[in-house]
A and B are shown apart, each in its own frame.
Chain A
């Protein structure tokens, strides 16, 4: 069975600082990986996804993530945090062998951006 671990339920950074949100996955086969963002009182919005090919994936709002098979990781980064980045972020994995495009989500990381 696949699973996702997000280290740190709460992360706080200063405006302009590097954002690093960690995600490790467990899957018996190479997975598809996703990062979603949830702003207050809204649903989840897709930030980026890794399917095949280039391991560095660029997403919306200046975010990117790197797939590292050897480390089973898919950490999310942004060089310079903005106040508008404050939100909850979810990593998710889709098992290529499964049916119906089911996703398994991590428990989320709440990002706080301080002045």
Chain B
């Protein structure tokens, strides 16, 4: 089974802090994704990556950055956390070949910014 592991299930940080969310997958997937999930809005794509050191903006990249130094690891960075970034964050991965590849998700990190 594919395993996507997010480093924290719950995280509480303060406004202005730099926050790192980590995600690791064990299936040698090329693609990795970071989503934000809010009630009534579904999942919104923040950033994604096709390969090591490669990244592309999703639909809501403002206030976020990402890092992919190794194929299995994809980090989401909140440079200066704000209260409107309080949310559930989901990481996913998939194979690159073909648009019909499903994404596999981690269990999420529920982030609260105080």
Within 8 Å by CB of B40, from A45, A94, A107, lies A107
By a CB distance below 8 angstroms, the chain A residues around B41 are 107
Tell whether A101 pairs with B40 under 8 Å between CB atoms, given A41-B107, A43-B106, A44-B90.
no
* A98-B99 Cα distance, complex, nearest whole Å: 8
By a CB distance below 8 angstroms, the chain A residues around B107 are 41-43
Interface bracket on A: 20 to 34
By a CB distance below 8 angstroms, the chain B residues around A36 are 105
Within 8 Å by CB of B99, from A9, A46, A90, A101, lies A101
| Interface membership of A51, Cβ < 8 A | yes
* A42-B100 Cα distance, complex, nearest whole Å: 23
| Distance of B42 from chain A, by nearest CB (Å) | 4
| Distance of B11 from chain A, by nearest CB (Å) | 14
A-B residue pairs, 4 tightest by C-beta: A43-B105, A107-B42, A51-B100, A105-B43
Chain A residues in contact with chain B, CB under 8 A?
9, 32, 34, 36, 41-46, 49, 51, 90, 94-96, 98-103, 105-108
5 residue pairs from A and B, CB less than 8 Å apart: A32-B100, A41-B9, A41-B107, A99-B50, A107-B42
